Structure 1
Amino acid sequence: MSTLTKIEIFLDKNRAKFMSLLKIVLLIGYCVYFGFAVSSHQGDEDSWRLVWCTVLAAWLAIWSLFKKTRCYENYVSLVDTIYFQYTTGRRSLFIRWFLYIAMTVFMVVYVVLFVALKTPENLRSLLGLVLFPFLLFLYSNNRRKINWHTIYWSMALQFIMALLILKTHWGASIIQWFGSRLQEFVSNGNAGSKFIFGATWKEHYFAFGAMVQAFCVIVAMSVLTYLGVIKFIVETVGRVLAFCLGVSPPEGINAVGNIFFHVPESALLVQEYLPEMTPSQLFVTYAGGLSTVGGVALVIFMASGVPAAPLVAASAMSAPAALAAAKLLYPTTDDEPTPGKTDDDTTNVKQEGILRQATSLMDAIILGINQSVVIVVQAVGFIMTFVIILEFLNNTSVWFGDRIGVENMTIEFLLSYLFYPFAFIMGARSDDCLFIGELLGIRSFSLAVVAYPKLGPVIQNGIVFREYISGSINNTWTVIGNDIFLDNLNKTLIGGVIEPRSEVIATYSLCGSASIAIIGLIIGSFEVIVPRRINEITTHIFRAFIAGTVASYLTACFAGLLYEENI
């Protein structure tokens, strides 16, 4: 036996020991680096970021080791015992009603003291918070089986999240921090965009830059999923959410996952549950995906000019609203059938294509690349197609309008009147409702990414206009149609301005994936994962579209109710 063969045998026998030694050396090295890094830059944002990332990594490592011990079984048993004691019997009934009363009193007192007395014009948003759930109730497929516990606490949770995000400086700062980090990360795609598309890439930012940035996000998500970071956070928060709202764990996990992922990616988080889900549980999965903007959708929206912070905030706030809307439209019933998992389902879920679990870090990168190619190209294809369709329908509508003497009768013009009532009951100023109704119609028909570029310039106009009128009492302006001419600056604000509160309501109401275009994306994605249940999904897809739309409208209502200009 040669010396080289002996060395190989020795290494194979002691591979585990060498790997353990390597991990210890790397851990010591990182601890030394961590100490120097924190001590040399004490207190700055980068140091805190390094600290929190280190704490999260340490917790994940400790938790993974803990799950391998016998103590973990005792821990699970203890949690199950506590859960049983406090969810059954008279004790459960007392706690539940105490929380109902306490939460209701808190919300009523807060609205009276800090909304009605300070900004009474915001109270019109309450109309939407009542009417939208009522409309969902009327459209429900089984009104008698609605679990009002889930509905109440979903909307209460959304109220709490809205308070933290919209009414506290620290809550807004957290969202702003996440938005800034996201923008920093996706900007790494600039290097790839320049390399592939040349020095003129900025001239085609949306077409090229957004695609490359979306590639980066999907690959990063694939890697973080393999490392267990995303799965740990989503599963932990999702199970707590499910416990509080009275829904199944997969529904809670999917609701949290929709904050970070788009429809196809979020389905992967619960892929092991999908074949055995009841129809109402499956409905929550794809209806929830229509309520938020995560993953590649978030990047594409950012590329259209919308800041990351309100997108992250709206997506987080819409997650509980999605559960409420889904459970109103398709409640769980006791006699609901539970389809059994078949070999075909298992094969599709664990196939060797883009919908599978990564086996190594490099495999996770490759898997992310494959997923990004399919998802990004598909998303760009949908956007391009529906922009073309919208332009064709606009030209056709204008032609028909000309025949009867109505000028510029575009689809946007017609939709603005159709969606006017929705904008009004969300709390927008009546003068702004036609414009917002137009945007809502465009989002529902095509995509929010088509509507946001129309909103962005108007928001910028508002910033310029408010600075102009605050500069001097002699600064005058002239309204010309929908435009505003600033006399002293000799400048025209094309499209005019809308009220700041209307800007917020429009931004949050558009922040969702519910559109006819995305319906095709959902059907295509789930046809790959659970083909046996695609007929069930297509039957209820329009109901899911309604749930996703109303969820984002509820988020806009909370934003309008709690709006305060100085926060």
Structure 2
Amino acid sequence: MKYLIILVGLVVIYLLAYVASNGRNRIRYRPLLVMIVLQIILAFLLLNTEIGEWVIRGFASVFVQLLAYAGEGINFVFGGLANEGQAPFFLSVLLPIVFISALIGILQYIRILPIIISIIGLVLSKVNGMGRLESYNAVASAVLGQSEVFISVKKQIGLMPKHRMYTLCASAMSTVSMSIVGAYMTMIDPKYVVTALVLNLFGGFIIASIINPYVVSKEEDLLEVKEEEKQSFFEMLGEYILDGFKVAIVVAAMLIGFVALISMINGIFNSIFGISFQQILGYVFAPFAFVIGVPWGEAVEAGSIMATKLVSNEFVAMLELGQHTGLSNRTVGIVSVFLVSFANFSSIGIIAGAVKGLHEQQGNVVARFGLKLLYGATLVSFLSAAIAGLFL
């Protein structure tokens, strides 16, 4: 029965994307089917095999060790601030981003990451039927982040037509940056984080190929990644450390604001209607949660968490998920995969602002299709969660 429900869910996701398509007669179904089959195979390997368990355990152990190293630096500066045996969210979850950002900078500096990103991007372009630039951008977004990635393709941004800009931005919003993966793993099961990272990479191309289909000619398919101005090692290191700290501060500030606002809105709705705002959103999202595999008895609760992520961000929703201890393992897994992406309203401003900082006219273009961008990225999250639901 669950397979039938999820099959219906996949059809619903396709139809929702098809309705928003700007070129229905240009949709190429062969690459779509190939990528969906790859998603199913990869989800099965990651969630249902010993090989997948080994990969996830290895990936998670690396981040556990990195978080332990980060803890050394945090304890040196903030030791004694927290009660014994306890650590504030900011110290234990957000500040490790500083250390992981520094590691990413080192791997960038010694040219390991650019080579890996380019190779994976080239392989992806053979599978997804899109341009090499789009494929590079999708992989780079998963490492560098949704705003920083555009710096690496700065030279191309001014030359990009609207339809290619949509795909670049959709990839950035559909994934998450490697610097905060460790933070997610302290809040939800690492296997769902890894699974979502892999599925979102293909899901972004699947949804974009339906909503925004096009063919890139050989003349257009030029991949020239901007080389950063050569810095000394310690200049680079200082820059990445400060960037990581800025990310931690921004996320902390947004958490304070969003959690407080949601609490206030819930209080207002409770006093007027006798029901919280999140419960209302839960009823709206419940049918979507159901068709991607969440049992109907838990669909409202799961839908509320999903909606929280859309209107605030994934951190707020992950905190919310941790408070719902009565959910089944299946529901927790599906919702967890859904939450691992940047698909929320605030990301529209982040991406449009990042592009506008590099090219004002293109930034305005991105801002105009911002809601459609969020719509597509949210469908990517639903698609990844549905595929994962097949094996949970």
Q: What is the TM-score of this pair, normalised by structure 2?
A: 0.91
1:58 counterpart residue number: none
Distance across 2 between alignment mates of 1:373 and 1:275: 30
Deviation of 1:266 after TM superposition, in Å, equals 3.1
Q: Secondary structure at the residue paired with 1:270?
A: helix
Residues 281 and 303, structure 2, Cα contact 8 Å, conserved in 1: yes
Deviation of 1:416 after TM superposition, in Å, equals 0.7
Q: After superposition, where does 1:446-525 map in structure 2 within 5 Å?
A: 446-458=312-324, 461=325, 497-525=326-354
Q: After superposition, where does 1:83-162 map in structure 2 within 5 Å?
A: 120-162=1-43
State which of 251, 254, 257 in structure 1 corresponds to 2:134: 251
Q: After superposition, where does 1:361-440 map in structure 2 within 5 Å?
A: 361-401=233-273, 407=274, 409-440=275-306
Residues 125 and 131, structure 2, Cα contact 8 Å, conserved in 1: yes
Distance across 1 between alignment mates of 2:90 and 2:65: 19
Partner letter of residue 224 of structure 1?
A: L
Distance across 2 between alignment mates of 1:366 and 1:410: 45
Deviation of 1:334 after TM superposition, in Å, equals 7.5
1:317 counterpart residue number: 199
Listed as ranges, the gaps of 5+ residues in structure 2 are: none
Distance across 2 between alignment mates of 1:528 and 1:240: 30
State which of 540, 553, 559 in structure 1 corresponds to 2:382: 553
2:58 counterpart residue number: 177
Query: Is the deviation greater in 199-208 or in 305-314?
Result: 199-208
Distance across 2 between alignment mates of 1:298 and 1:392: 29
Partner letter of residue 246 of structure 2?
A: V
Deviation of 1:264 after TM superposition, in Å, equals 1.9
1:360 counterpart residue number: 232
Partner letter of residue 254 of structure 2?
A: F
1:100 counterpart residue number: none
Partner letter of residue 145 of structure 1?
A: R
Partner letter of residue 103 of structure 2?
A: A
Distance across 2 between alignment mates of 1:419 and 1:169: 34
Q: Secondary structure at the residue paired with 1:188?
A: helix
Partner letter of residue 521 of structure 1?
A: I
Deviation of 1:238 after TM superposition, in Å, equals 0.7
1:445 counterpart residue number: 311
The answer to whether the aligner puts 1:276 opposite 2:152 as a matched pair is: no
Q: After superposition, where does 1:182-197 map in structure 2 within 5 Å?
A: 182-197=63-78
CA pair 273-153 structure 1, distance change in 2 beyond 3 A: farther
Distance across 1 between alignment mates of 2:12 and 2:181: 29
Distance across 1 between alignment mates of 2:305 and 2:157: 34
Residues 242 and 252, structure 1, Cα contact 8 Å, conserved in 2: yes
Distance across 2 between alignment mates of 1:271 and 1:176: 36
1:120-169 CA distances to partner (integer Å, 9 max, x unpaired)? 43432111112101110111122222233332222222122112212221
Deviation of 1:333 after TM superposition, in Å, equals 5.9
CA pair 272-379 structure 1, distance change in 2 beyond 3 A: farther
1:162-194 CA distances to partner (integer Å, 9 max, x unpaired)? 122122211221022112201211222212222
Q: Secondary structure at the residue paired with 1:244?
A: helix
Partner letter of residue 195 of structure 2?
A: A
1:206 counterpart residue number: 89
1:533 counterpart residue number: 362
State which of 310, 325, 328 in structure 1 corresponds to 2:210: 328
Rg larger for: 1
1:81 counterpart residue number: none
Deviation of 1:502 after TM superposition, in Å, equals 1.7
Residues 282 and 304, structure 2, Cα contact 8 Å, conserved in 1: yes
Deviation of 1:457 after TM superposition, in Å, equals 4.3
Q: Secondary structure at the residue paired with 1:419?
A: helix
The answer to whether the aligner puts 1:293 opposite 2:176 as a matched pair is: yes
Distance across 1 between alignment mates of 2:330 and 2:3: 9
2:123 counterpart residue number: 240
Query: Is the deviation greater in 499-508 or in 242-251?
Result: 499-508
Distance across 1 between alignment mates of 2:204 and 2:229: 27
1:493-527 CA distances to partner (integer Å, 9 max, x unpaired)? xxxx2232222111112222111122222222222
Deviation of 1:436 after TM superposition, in Å, equals 0.4
Distance across 1 between alignment mates of 2:259 and 2:323: 19
CA pair 457-390 structure 1, distance change in 2 beyond 3 A: closer
2:103 counterpart residue number: 220
Distance across 2 between alignment mates of 1:318 and 1:421: 22
Residues 158 and 317, structure 1, Cα contact 8 Å, conserved in 2: yes
Partner letter of residue 281 of structure 1?
A: R
Partner letter of residue 245 of structure 2?
A: V
Residues 356 and 364, structure 2, Cα contact 8 Å, conserved in 1: no
Distance across 1 between alignment mates of 2:112 and 2:190: 22
Q: Secondary structure at the residue paired with 1:331?
A: coil
Listed as ranges, the gaps of 5+ residues in structure 1 are: 1-119, 339-345, 351-355, 402-406, 462-496
Residues 43 and 387, structure 2, Cα contact 8 Å, conserved in 1: yes
CA RMSD of superposed structures (Å): 2.5
CA pair 183-369 structure 1, distance change in 2 beyond 3 A: same
Distance across 1 between alignment mates of 2:238 and 2:25: 48
Distance across 2 between alignment mates of 1:434 and 1:517: 24
Deviation of 1:544 after TM superposition, in Å, equals 1.2
Instruction: Report the number of matched residues.
Output: 386
CA pair 561-315 structure 1, distance change in 2 beyond 3 A: same
